Structure 1
């Protein structure tokens, strides 16, 4: 049985962090171990995100890593949070996820984003044989659906008739409106776009049209959680993610760095404000079990989310496992 907090299912968003002074092989070993851990704890799904040209994120070949995680687990749903569809020919994605569904039936999700997940130079490197842009996203989604439904002129083998639920992901209003129009489940990137969360979810709920896929809207929100046995320790562990975003602000993306004792010695007041705007306190929960429970329940109440997907960018793997365990202990 899937557990819940305030009626919301709990899931995991894994950015497959590359740790400072560790190998990428270690990243994938840690991800498999985390997936096995949260499966036992009762989490609902385990998603990986497509990012490119990012020294701290190892999940660029998203479908390959999804296959790895699915092979190391038994029941938890595994998917993309998300695949950036403008980077790919929809036929290729249909074939990849059709293959995953054939290997791991009834366990694969396909979350789709419209951003490049990278900088302009990387986007060009990814798309130099394609003409698609983010503005073509609705047509790309329709093309992908046609491959899955067996209605395209070219057949996706594997892919045709695959049981792969499509989700639309967003960090603004665009995908919220498209998901509502198409009657698809919607996931919002509150963990790095907190200011747009409530407006986007309102658009999704207000404009939702029932479909053969969903009779009622289904919304998931992403949050950052760093939990430990004390608020002080949690704040210390959270400095790894703060440093990662600080380096993005500085235009020098890095691996995930170890925690530091005083983050205020590292950033300027402008940099601090910029990082804290992204890691907004509403969608970033740092503390002990009581603090996380209070903030998580408040966020679920405010967003009316059906599901919460949790990102925990913690350098120490054992501390990361423990953070997800603390949240699991809040499940009803």
Structure 2
């Protein structure tokens, strides 16, 4: 199977670094993975957090597209319930006009962040996520250049190409909706380590052609940590284990934990069980082990693309992880 390798980056703020430096690291990583031959590079949307710098993915996408040449750039994803479908359509029409056939519009239904964030994004009002399917339909219509039946407006600028819509999800509900509406679909296994294969089967089995696309198109996203040796990869992964535990416990810190912090941590029996469970959301190992894991994952999901999300205590280790993986798949960097 010919596998496309892609990247999701959440702009983690590492210990001793600033948010500005985290965004600069994301830019460097986008350039590097572009040279290495990765297929696409997505950035996420997170609000009111001291550990992740990416709060406005549509702006970061503009910057990254300007600083890369070949790799597709997109959102993973815009939290659509917080915004006007018309405004999102116009933002991405502009991006597509600037960088035709290189922009992806990934959207999500999850509210994202604490309740205060949700109210702040909507002027103190409660946004009903049940309206999400209607929003997606409106978004698809606007991007097709169709005039709104009541407002008599179009999302401009109108161009010859349209950015593909990727519906991001971690459940069968999102898979069924993507199939019903006829959009592309990403299962976020890095968020939910269970139910992904069944969700993907739902998507393929129930897909209905739409005005946007005639055939299903899907991929899977997972945490991946690759190092020269399995021992080194496991050491690095310890920081990811601790970070996920802290998130689950509501113990949010202002930096991404180091492997040394993880080693010094004294875990309870329950926490050790959670760490083992959370490993369903990761592939960890040396280059051969990671390649085998990627190929197995793609086969289980019956997709030809895997999106990897790599956290590491140092930016250099993050860069190296992506290089080791691509080298293992036999690709040679473009321009070094």
TM-score of the aligned structures, taking structure 1 as reference length: 0.92
Show the counterpart of 1:3: none
Equivalent of residue 18 in structure 1, options 13, 20, 28: 13
Show the counterpart of 1:304: 302
Show the counterpart of 2:258: 258
Q: How does 1:32-43 map to 2 (within 5 A)?
A: 32-43=27-38
Contact 2:46 2:113 in 1 (8 A): yes
- Structure 1: how far apart are the matches of 2:304 and 2:28? 26
Show the counterpart of 2:271: 271
Contact 1:50 1:84 in 2 (8 A): yes
Deviation at 1:323, TM superposition (A): 0.4
Deviation at 1:142, TM superposition (A): 1.1
Deviation at 1:118, TM superposition (A): 1.3
Q: Deviations over 1:296-332 (max 9, x none)?
A: 2211111112211000011211111110011112325
- Partner secondary structure for residue 194 of structure 1: coil
- Structure 1: how far apart are the matches of 2:80 and 2:266? 37
Show the counterpart of 1:156: 155
Deviation at 1:180, TM superposition (A): 1.1
Q: Which runs of 4+ in 1 moved over 6 A?
A: none
Distance 1:150 1:53, change over 3 A: same
- Partner secondary structure for residue 68 of structure 2: coil
Deviation at 1:52, TM superposition (A): 1.3
- Segments of 5+ residues of structure 2 without an aligned counterpart are 331-336
Q: Deviations over 1:134-174 (max 9, x none)?
A: 21111000111222122223332346766211111111111
Distance 1:271 1:124, change over 3 A: farther
Contact 1:148 1:160 in 2 (8 A): no
- Partner secondary structure for residue 260 of structure 1: helix
Show the counterpart of 1:75: 70
Show the counterpart of 1:284: 282
- Structure 1: how far apart are the matches of 2:261 and 2:232? 10
Show the counterpart of 2:198: 199
- Structure 1: how far apart are the matches of 2:226 and 2:201? 29
Give the RMSD, CA atoms, in angstroms.
1.9
TM-score of the aligned structures, taking structure 2 as reference length: 0.91
- Segments of 5+ residues of structure 1 without an aligned counterpart are 1-5
Matched positions, count = 325
